[in-house]
Amino acid sequence: MEMNDPLRREEKKETRPDQDKSGPSSPDSSRPGRDNLLKRMKKVDPKQSEKYKQRTGQ
C-alpha cells in the first residue's frame, strides 16, 4: 500500500524559493477552520490529563 507521508502538511509550510519575506505572502492555503480549531485548542488546560482519574470499566 502506498501512503502519503503523514507529516506532509509540515512540508507544505516550507517557504518556496520565489517567496520574499518582505513581499506579499501567498494566500494561506491551510484548511478553512484551522485557525478557529487552534484557538479552541489553546484554551485547553495543558494539565487536564493529569486530573482525569478514571476507574477501569468494561
Partner 1 sequence: MKKRIFGIETEYGLLVKENNSGDFRLDPIEIANKIKNHIFSKNLGVLDLHYRANDEPPGNGGFLLNGGRLYLDMGHLEYASPECSNLVDLITFDRAGDSLIQEAVEELGWENNISIIKNNVDLETNATFGCHENYLVGRNFPFDERDNLKLLSSFLTTRLIYCGAGRIGSCNPHPFQDWDGVSSQEALDEKIDFQISQRADHIPNEFYRWVQYNRAIVNTRDEPLSDPSKYRRIHLLVGDSTMSEFATAMKMGTTTLMLEIMQLGVAKREWILADSVQAMRSISRDQEFKWNVTLASGAFSTALELQHDILETCKKHLAGTNQETDWILENWESVLNDLSKGPEAVLGRVDWASKYWMLNEFKNEENLDWHDPWLKSLDLEYHNLNKESGLFWGLEASGDGYRKTTDPAVDHAKRNPPRGTRAQGRGELIKKLIGQHSHIGYLIDWIGFRLSKTDDPFLMLDPFISYKEDIIEHLKQFETSYSTQKEIENSDVSSGESKKN
Positions in the binding site for partner 1 (CB under 8 A): 1-10, 13, 31-34, 36-38, 40-41, 43-58
Contact 24, 18 (CB under 8 A): no
Choice between 14 and 20, CB closer to partner 1 = 14
Name, in order, each residue with C-beta under 8 angstroms of 25's C-beta and a sequence gap of 6 or more: 19
C-beta of 14: minimal distance to partner 1 in Å? 12
Choice between 4 and 22, CB closer to partner 1 = 4
Choice between 20 and 51, CB closer to partner 1 = 51
* Cα–Cα distance measured from residue 30 to residue 9, given in angstroms and rounded to the nearest whole number: 9
